[in-house]
Amino acid sequence: MSPAGGVDPALRDAAFRWIADDVDPAARAELQRVLASALAGDAAAADDLADRMAGPLRFGTAGLRGPLRAGQNGMNRAVVVRATAGLAEWLRAHGRAGGVVVVGRDARHGSEEFHADVAGVLAAAGFDVRVLPRPLPTPVLAFAVRRLDAVAGVQVTASHNPPGDNGYKVYLDAGAQIVPPVDAEIEAAIAASPASVAVPRSTDWSTVDESLVEEYVAGVAALPTGTARDLRVALTPLHGVGGETGVLALRAAGFTDVHVTASQAAPDPDFPTVSFPNPEEPGATDALLALASEVGADLAVALDPDADRCALGVRDRDGRWRMLRGDETGVLLGDRVLSTLDRSAHPDPLVATTIVSSSMLRSVAEAHGARYDETLTGFKWLVRAGDGRGTGLVYAYEEALGHCVAPDLVRDKDGISAAVLACDLAAELKAAGRTLVDALDELAVRHGLHLTDQVSVRLGAMAEVQSAMAALRERVPAEVGGRPVTAEDLRPRDNTLALRGEGLRIMIRPSGTEPKLKAYLEIVERAESTAELDAARERGRAALLALRGDVEALLLG
C-alpha cells in the first residue's frame, strides 16, 4: 500500500488541487470527504475518487452531460464555470465578442445554480446575456437564439437522462447545435481556462420578457393547416418542463380538450413515477396510456423532460393503446408537412432523416416531388441536410422520437410543435371518420410496409467496440435472414457498416455513449390494398425475426 493509503500520489495531488480551485464550497466538502475516505483505506471511496478525477468531462457535439458530483469528471459548478469560460473565449476568437447569448434551463437538480453561473461568466466576459425567465423547454431556448439573433445559446439540461445527471447544451447563431470541429475547439478552450475560482463572474445580465415565450407559443399555434379541432388529447410531460408550455400551445392552436397525467404534470427532478424518464423506455408511458383509456382520448402525447422529443400513443384496431415508433410518427408528420406545404414559399422543399431511421420517408418525398437526404445521427446533422446548411429544409426526423416540423421556427427537434402538428392531423382524420392507424395503413400500401427493429450487444468496455467493428468488417456475410446482402462501409463519413438486400436493410454501428454494438433492422413488404396488410405484416414479422436472430449471432461473433 502506498503512503497515500491506497491512493496514487498523482491522483491524490490532483484531487487536492481540484478542491483548492473549486468555486463551490459544497462541492469542495463533498470531494474532501471522498478523498479522506480513500486515504483511510476505503477501497470503494478510492475507486469513486479515481472515477471522479478520471479526466475532464468531455465536451461533445451536444455539449456536456454527466452525473451530478464533485470532481472534474462530473457536472458541478466548477465544471460549468470553466466550460463557460472556454465558450466565451471561443466566441471572442471567432469575432462574436459582445453579442447576445441566451441562457435557459430545465428543472433538474443543479440547473438553477448552473444557469446562474453560465450567465455570470458570460456577462463578466462582456456578452449581452439574456436569461429565460423560468425553467422552460429546450425548444424555447433554440427559438430564442434565432429570434434574438444571438451569437450563442446555452441550455442547462440533461434531456431524458436519469435523475442524477445534468448537462450543458450549446447552440450557435443559427439556432442549431454545434458540429465538429467546433466541439473540439471549444473543448481546447475549456482546457486552457483558468481554475473556476479565478474566472470572473458578474450579475450584469437581463431576464427575457415572458412575451418571447408567448411568441414561441404563437408560432407553434400557427402551424396547423386544417380546421378540425374536435380532438381529446391525453398528455404527459414526464415530470419535465414541457407540460405548461405544451398545453398553452395546444390550446392556442384550438385544441382545448387536453387532459394531463396528474402524477407527472409538475416538474420534479426526482422523476418519481418512472424508472427512466424517456418515452421510449418500457413502462414510461403506462400512466399516460391509462389516462388516455380512462378519458376516452383520441390521441396520447408524451414529451420527454425537456420537451424536445415527442411520442404519440394511439388506440389500435383491437382497442388497446400503444405508442407509435419514432419511424411511424416520422412518416406521418413528414407526409403531413409535404401534403400541406405552401409551394410558393417552399418551391424546392427538402426532407431528411438519419441513416438509421426507416427509409420510408424517401418514397414519401419522391411522391411529393421533394428532395430527400439521409444524414448521420443527430439533429446537428439533420438541420444541415442537403448542402450542409439545410437550405430548403421543411421537415426532419430521427427514429429516437425527434421531429423538426418547422425549421424556420426552431432549427432543432421540438416535441411541442410536433405534438401540435400531430393533433392537427389526428383531428382532420377524425372529422373524416379515420384515425392515425388508418393513415399509417394507407401510407404502407402506397410506399411499402416498413417494419423496423433494433439489436444491441453490450461489450465489456468502450475500447472493445472498435476492435469488434473491425472484426465484423472482416467477416461480412453473403446472406442474412435467408436473403442475399451486399455490404457498404460508410467510413470515413461514419463508423457504420450497411448491409442491403431485396426489401432489407441493416445498419451496424457502435453506440456513441455505451460499450455496445447496435444494429438497426428494416424489412419492406408490399401489399396491394389495406385488406392485404395483415398478411404482409405476418410475412414481415417472420422475416424480421429471422433477420434478428442472424444479426445477433453476427454481432456476438
Residues sharing a CB contact under 8 Å with residue 226, sequence separation 6 or more, in sequence order? 340, 424, 425, 427, 428
CA dist., res. 521 & res. 210, Å (int): 45
DSSP 91-142: HHHTT-TT-EEEEEE-SSTTHHHHHHHHHHHHHHTT-EEEE-SSS--HHHHH
For 265, the grid coordinates are: 404534470
All 3 cell numbers of residue 320?
A: 388497446
Distances (CA, A) of 425 to 34, 313, 343, 430, 463: 55, 14, 19, 9, 46
User: Would residue 159 show up in a list of annotated catalytic residues for this protein?
Assistant: yes
| C-alpha pair distances (Å), 102 with each of 126, 132, 146 | 14, 7, 10
* DSSP H or E segment with residue 189: helix 182-191
Q: Measured in Å, how far apart are the chain's first and last C-alpha atoms?
A: 41
Q: Pick from 37, 59, 66, 40: which is nearest to 49 by CA?
A: 37
Backbone angles phi, psi at 204, to 5 degrees: -85, 60
User: Quick check: helix, strand or coil at residue 337?
Assistant: helix
The CA distance from 62 to 396, in Å, is 18
With cell 425548444, the residue in question is: 139
Among the options 159, 357, 358, 359, which is catalytic? 159
CB 504 within 8 A of CB 547: yes
Phi, psi of 546 (to 5 degrees): -65, -40
As beta bridge partners, residue 520 has 454, 507
Pairing of strands 152-156, 100-105: parallel
Positions annotated as catalytic residues are: 159
